[in-house]
């Protein structure tokens, strides 16, 4: 007992020696609490004076014009899904129109296509095209276009006047009218086109294809939309021969061919890649089929580049392994269970392995494609041809890079052959999201194969597969439409049946990095505090269930400063879009769980009309609802003139219109005050730059033009719904630092007006003011008084620095307090005023780190007499190809193989969110090594501010910058496919018939093999 008392006395003595507060020169304890109250009172006084907040609160609380109701999430979801289905149907109808037109002009119904006559057309790459047709810039297409013409693009390595191209020109002649009719029927329709098997592309609207400033490598047959629609989902096993005879040029071209094939297959396909010599081994860490996600295809391409040739080949073992992979993957449900394919890369084989195939592929359900590499006539490739022809496949020699595109196109033509036996079952196919360089944005394309009936062409030399009709769907535009269906900060997203995000507000292209094509799961963009929550939601969506889930998730929007995000108790409503391979979800934060209904009889259309006529466009704006056919100005004019019949068919009448009109009426008294001389005097005296309010339905009012004539309000300056976005409780002042503009710094004070509805609080509007930062400086200096030896730092709810009295306020920068590490920072973290969450962002760019996982001794290059001779012959052949036979294609592949400076990667970072339940003052002495600091933390009541008071600013603590935690995800350690594809939405059907394999030689070096009915 005596020891405990002595220890207590010793502790008190140490504390007294290390912590003593001189109230005359320092701020601590109750003085810190008083300082916080003074700051709050001064801010509140300024804010109330500038906004007449009390009157605004009374107007929205006591009005009988509007009524607040709980949101019916299920009803909202059904209405949204029906609107989206109508939009998607317009796209599929348009692509059906294109496909039907081309099929009607097919060789069966038009014999002229066998020897096509000449047709007039405009060539997209014609440098004089602007002199031939009028091109006008249109914002929605991001280029100069002509809406009355279509143009034709032919790949650089395809002869424009070949018979195949002339047939395709004639086949698509007249499509212009179909394109125009489609566009007139759907004002949200962008690119329309038809890609033929010859490589010809006819597209609308017409625009100039610039080849003066960049090399044209485009070939429609290699685009994702073409490949997606050109056949059914596939299970593909690649077998690459890496025996010694493949060393050199043959292996190089084979690698490039494999890379191009992997690039073009879709994420509906499943792939496995094996290399073989004496052994057959997977090139990656996955031995079975995996869904061809972008991240997995990039992983395979990286591994393929490290393959080296040596040893002898065991072809039988490789075939056994390929069929074993197909069988095992089916058991593991890692298979689309549709077309099964083996693609073999080799230079030659000694046998057709008929006995092996008779045992492993008796019914020829597995198609086998063979590609022969090496110099012409170097090896006997007839056995490779026989293997393909005996197994319903396709054989192509690939002697150089110029043969690659042709071989890939031929493979996918064969993939489309089953469609000719089931043309009534062909449905439009939706591609994955990809980056479109012309539009510099993400798009998804709906395509449809144009195929002739097998019965009509089986006795002819006509190929049944003609090409693909397609329509572009602009992802940002779809996001605008989906976001524009809701008020406030609710938003919607869309995923496909493979769990990949299609539309989401946070899915944005990375500037200058087209390879940033998205391959994002829902759990990579929607972050829940417990990851199992978002995984459970995703699994339900992929099972096409309709349900709702409540969870704590991260609320973030494009334009949000990193670190300003917040975790909130959000509610997810989700359902499938029947008839389409998509599911949609709606995310409802706590502030949006109520809605407004309007008493239409109480609307004062005269007052509303006057407000709109007077204040539009600079002082009064409204959120754009893309599905509305009229804007609010037109609607008001019709209603005021008693022409209601003009607006009854508008999708936004009466709900959106009535809500916005009511909010204009309710906020008019505030706008009237802002127009008064009294307010101008207040603004001038208190250095107020702007004032604004933003309602839940999207009405925005500002006084900027009254205080700064000639300026135009920028809604981004006003940070709409900043409270709801950051998770700040309503009815609380929020202070934030703004970027420097017009030569001075400013800060923002905003307030979210919350109306109690049941057990929740509905945020009906945000109101705020922008004030010069010198006002905050003056306010703080006045509150601190004579205690000049004290430094005060204002931190916001996300631990961003609002102001520091020791800094030059004109040069103040928006920065995170915790971007550096120091004893002071650690004290603030330990105080538990902030909750810390680790966030993973996989839409970042990192410097590429070259690694060679195959640099082991077993895979090292081995020199032998045979390899030296082979290397010499291959080098001579390569020189011949480069300088004589294949200048264009070699240049093309060299350009393609340029290593990117940046790669997509993930970054982990912390976000900090204030715990507003903690209101106590915290004090501590912090050891800085050579000195000690007396620190005090005190919340500013009813605001988002936290005061950090440093009573010993002369004591400097060492700081070190926090290192960014960036990494390139490891496909082998990360789970590749968390979700199983929903096969119920995939078009898959068996091929009819069977019979003998026949070959028809179209050239001396190429044979086409397919099954015919007897």
* pLDDT, tens digit, 9 for 90 and up, residues 506-558: 887 665 444 455 678 888 888 888 888 988 998 899 889 999 999 998 887 66
pLDDT, residue 345, reads: 94
Cβ(644)–Cβ(634) below 8 Å: no
Instruction: Classify 30 as helix, strand or coil.
Output: helix
Predicted pLDDT at 1013: 31
Query: How confident is the model over 274-324, as pLDDT tens digits?
Result: 999 989 999 988 899 988 888 888 889 989 988 998 888 899 999 999 999
- Residue 346, strand partner residues: 372
Q: What is the tens place of the pLDDT at every residue in 651-708?
A: 777 878 888 889 999 999 999 999 999 999 999 999 998 888 888 887 888 887 444 4
Q: Is 217 helix (H, G, I), strand (E, B) or coil?
A: coil
Which pair of structure tokens corresponds to residue 39? 């700051």
- Please compute the mean of the pLDDT values over residues 896-916 and round it to a whole number: 72
Q: Does the pLDDT value for residue 650 go beyond 80?
A: no
Coil vs helix vs strand at 280: strand
* Contact predicate 598/608, CB 8 Å: no
Least confident of 416-430, 859-873, 895-909: 859-873
Classified as helix, coil or strand, 238 is strand
Task: Return the SS3 of 553.
Answer: strand
Beta strands in 848-887 (DSSP E): none
Q: Report the largest interatomic distance among the alpha carbons of the chain, rounded to a whole angstrom.
A: 113
Token digits for 568?
A: 């909130």
- 527 with 534: CB under 8 angstroms? yes
Q: How many helices (H) and strands (E) does the chain have?
A: 29, 41
Distance CA 116, CA 25 (A): 96
pTM for the full predicted model: 0.81
Residues in the chain: 1014
> Which DSSP category does 29 fall into?
T
Is 945 within 8 Å of 793 (Cβ atoms)? Answer: no
The H or E element spanning position 469 is strand 465-474
Please name which of 393, 239, 395, 235 lies closest in space to residue 317, comparing C-alpha atoms. 239
Q: Of 73, 232, 86, 980, give the one whose Cα is nearest residue 578.
A: 86
Mean pLDDT of the chain: 79
The average pLDDT across 588-592 equals 84
Hey, which residues does 493 pair with through a beta bridge? 585
**Residue 569 pLDDT > 80:** yes
Structure confidence at residue 48 as a pLDDT band (50, 70, 90) = very high
Query: What pLDDT score was predicted for residue 104?
Result: 85
What is the SS3 string spanning 959-1012?
Answer: CEECCCEEECCCCCCCCCCCCCCCHHHCCCCCCCCCCCEEEEEEECCEEEEEEC
User: Distance between the two ends of the chain, CA-based, in angstroms?
Assistant: 105
Q: Quick: pLDDT tens for 154-179.
A: 998 888 888 888 888 888 888 999 99
Sign for the CA dihedral angle at 184, 186, 190, 193 comes to negative
Q: What is the pLDDT of residue 685?
A: 92
Q: Please write the tens of the pLDDT for every residue from 957-1014.
A: 888 877 777 777 777 766 555 555 544 444 565 544 332 233 333 333 333 344 333 2
| Residue 643 CB coordination number (10 Å) | 10
Q: How many CA atoms within 13 Å lie on the side-chain side of 700?
A: 22
Which of 267, 498, 496, 338 has the alpha carbon at shortest distance from 979? Answer: 498
And the tokens for 472?
């572009």
3-state secondary structure of 58: helix
Would you place residue 877 in the very low, low, confident or very high pLDDT band (cuts 50, 70, 90)? low
Mean pLDDT of 375-389: 84
Tokens 């393909």 locate to 388
CB neighbourhood size of 814 (10 A): 14
- Residue 974: what pLDDT? 64
Share of the chain above pLDDT 70, in %: 80
Instruction: Choose the most confident range, by mean pLDDT, from 409-413, 674-678, 840-844.
Output: 674-678
333 pLDDT tier (thresholds 50, 70, 90): confident
pLDDT at 867 over 80: no
Tell me the two tokens of residue 641.
Answer: 């003139």
Q: Can you give the pLDDT at residue 698?
A: 79
pLDDT in the model for residue 868: 57
CA–CA distance, 841 with 966 (Å, rounded to integer)? 9
The confidence score (pLDDT) of residue 49 equals 93
Average pLDDT of the segment spanning 361-367:
90
Q: Are 276 and 242 in contact (CB under 8 A)?
A: yes
Q: What is the DSSP letter of 951?
A: S
Q: In a 10 Å sphere around its CB, with 0-12 CB exposed, 13-18 middle and 19+ buried, how is residue 117 labelled?
A: exposed
Q: Rounded distance, CA 643 to CA 411, Å?
A: 61
| Letter string b/e over residues 968-991, b meaning 16 or more CB atoms within 10 A of that residue's CB | eeebeeeebbebbbbeebbbeeeb
Whether 86 contacts 590, CB under 8 Å: no
Sheet with 501-503, side-by-side order of all strands: 501-503, 491-496, 582-588, 566-576, 547-555
510: closest CA among 520, 523, 500? 520
For residue 318, count CB atoms less than 10 angstroms from its CB and return exposed for 0-12, middle for 13-18, buried for 19 or more: buried
Q: What is the DSSP letter of 111?
A: G
H-run or E-run covering 435: strand 434-436
- Would you say residue 10 has pLDDT above 70? no
CB 748 within 8 A of CB 776: no
C-alpha dist (Å) from residue 142 to 212, 388, 543, 737:
19, 46, 38, 34
């Amino acid at each position: 007992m005596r020891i405990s008392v002595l220890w207590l006395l010793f502790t008190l003595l140490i504390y007294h020696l290390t912590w003593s507060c001189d109230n005359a020169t320092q701020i601590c304890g109750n003085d810190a609490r008083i300082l916080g109250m003074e700051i709050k009172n001064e801010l509140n006084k300024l804010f109330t004076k500038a906004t007449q907040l009390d009157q605004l609160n009374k107007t929205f609380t006591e009005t009988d014009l509007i009524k607040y109701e709980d949101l019916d999430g299920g009803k909202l979801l059904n209405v949204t899904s029906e609107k989206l289905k109508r939009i998607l149907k317009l796209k599929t109808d348009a692509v059906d129109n294109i496909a039907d037109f081309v099929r009607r002009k097919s060789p069966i119904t038009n014999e002229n296509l066998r020897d096509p006559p000449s047709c007039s057309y405009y060539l997209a790459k014609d440098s004089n095209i602007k002199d031939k047709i009028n091109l006008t810039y249109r914002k929605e297409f991001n280029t100069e276009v002509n809406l009355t013409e279509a143009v034709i693009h032919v790949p650089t390595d395809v002869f424009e006047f070949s018979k195949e191209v002339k047939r395709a020109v004639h086949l698509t002649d007249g499509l212009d009218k179909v394109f125009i009719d489609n566009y007139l029927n759907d004002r949200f329709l962008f690119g329309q086109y038809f890609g033929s098997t010859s490589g010809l592309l006819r597209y609308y609207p017409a625009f100039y294809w610039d080849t003066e400033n960049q090399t044209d490598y485009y070939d429609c047959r290699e685009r994702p939309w073409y490949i997606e629609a050109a056949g059914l989902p596939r299970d593909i096993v690649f077998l690459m021969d890496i025996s010694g005879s493949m060393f050199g040029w043959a292996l190089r071209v084979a690698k490039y061919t494999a890379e191009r094939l992997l690039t073009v297959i879709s994420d509906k396909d499943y792939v496995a890649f094996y290399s073989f010599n004496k052994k057959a081994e997977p090139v990656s860490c996955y031995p079975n089929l995996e869904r061809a996600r972008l991240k997995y295809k990039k992983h395979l391409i990286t591994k393929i580049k490290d393959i080296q040739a040596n040893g002898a080949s065991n072809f039988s073992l490789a075939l056994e392994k390929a069929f074993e992979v197909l069988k095992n993957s089916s058991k593991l449900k890692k298979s689309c269970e549709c077309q099964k394919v083996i693609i073999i890369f080799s230079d030659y084989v000694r046998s057709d392995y008929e006995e092996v195939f008779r045992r492993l592929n008796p019914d020829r359900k597995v198609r086998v494609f063979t590609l022969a590499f090496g110099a012409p006539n170097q090896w006997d490739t007839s056995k490779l041809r026989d293997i393909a022809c005996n197994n319903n496949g396709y054989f192509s020699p690939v002697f150089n890079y110029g043969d690659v595109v042709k071989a890939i196109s031929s493979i996918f033509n064969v993939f489309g052959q089953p469609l000719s036996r089931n043309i009534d079952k062909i449905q439009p196919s939706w591609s994955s999201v990809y980056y479109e360089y012309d539009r510099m944005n993400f798009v998804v394309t709906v395509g449809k194969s144009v195929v002739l009936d097998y019965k009509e062409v089986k006795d002819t030399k006509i190929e049944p597969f003609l090409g693909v009709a397609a329509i572009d769907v602009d992802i940002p535009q779809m996001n605008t439409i989906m976001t524009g269906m809701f008020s406030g900060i609710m938003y919607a997203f869309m995923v496909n049946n493979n769990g990949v995000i299609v539309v989401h507000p946070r899915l944005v292209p990375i500037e200058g990095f087209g390879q940033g094509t998205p391959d994002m799961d829902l759990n990579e963009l929607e972050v829940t505090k417990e990851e199992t929550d978002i995984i459970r939601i995703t699994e339900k969506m992929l099972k096409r269930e309709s349900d709702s889930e409540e969870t704590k998730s991260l609320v973030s929007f494009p334009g949000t400063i990193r670190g300003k995000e917040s975790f909130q108790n959000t509610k997810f409503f989700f359902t499938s879009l029947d008839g389409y391979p998509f599911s949609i979800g709606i995310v409802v934060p706590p502030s949006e769980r109520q809605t407004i209904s309007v008493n239409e009889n109480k609307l004062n259309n005269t007052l509303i009309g006057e407000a709109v006529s007077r204040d539009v466009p600079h002082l009064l704006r409204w959120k754009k609802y893309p599905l509305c056919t009229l804007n609010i100005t037109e609607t008001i004019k019709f209603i005021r003139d008693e022409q209601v019949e003009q607006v009854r068919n508008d999708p936004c009448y009466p709900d959106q219109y009535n809500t916005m009109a009511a909010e204009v009426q309710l906020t008019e008294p505030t706008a009237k005050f802002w127009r008064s001389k009294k307010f101008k005097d207040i603004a001038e005296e208190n250095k107020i730059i702007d004032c604004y309010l933003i309602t839940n339905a999207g009405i925005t009012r500002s006084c900027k033009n009254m205080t700064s004539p000639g300026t135009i309000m920028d809604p981004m300056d006003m940070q709409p719904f900043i409270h709801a976005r950051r998770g700040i409780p309503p009815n609380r002042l929020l202070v934030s630092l703004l970027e420097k503009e017009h030569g001075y710094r400013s800060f923002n004070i905003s307030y979210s007006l919350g109306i109690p509805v049941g057990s929740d609080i509905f945020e009906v509007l945000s109101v705020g003011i922008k004030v010069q930062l010198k006002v905050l400086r003056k306010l703080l200096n006045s509150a601190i008084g004579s205690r000049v030896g004290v430094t005060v730092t204002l931190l916001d709810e996300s631990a961003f620095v609002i102001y520091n009295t020791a800094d030059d306020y004109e040069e103040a920068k928006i920065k995170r307090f915790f971007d550096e590490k120091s004893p002071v920072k650690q004290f603030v973290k330990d105080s538990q005023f902030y909750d810390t969450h680790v966030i993973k962002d996989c839409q970042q760019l990192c410097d590429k780190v070259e690694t060679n996982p195959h640099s082991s001794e077993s895979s090292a290059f081995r020199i032998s007499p045979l390899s030296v001779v082979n290397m010499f012959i291959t080098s001579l052949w390569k020189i011949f190809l480069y300088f004589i036979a294949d200048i264009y294609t070699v240049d093309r592949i060299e350009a393609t193989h340029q290593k990117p400076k940046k790669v997509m990667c993930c970054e982990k970072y912390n976000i900090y969110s204030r715990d507003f339940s903690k209101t106590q003052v915290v004090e501590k002495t912090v050891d800085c090594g050579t000195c000690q600091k007396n620190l005090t933390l005190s919340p500013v009541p009813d605001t988002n501010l936290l005061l950090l008071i440093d009573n010993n600013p002369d004591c400097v603590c060492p700081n070190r910058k926090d290192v960014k935690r960036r990494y390139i995800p490891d496909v082998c350690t990360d789970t590749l496919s968390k979700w199983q594809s929903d096969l119920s939405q995939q078009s898959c059907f068996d091929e009819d018939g069977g019979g003998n394999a026949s070959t028809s030689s179209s050239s001396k070096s190429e044979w086409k093999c397919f099954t015919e009915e007897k």
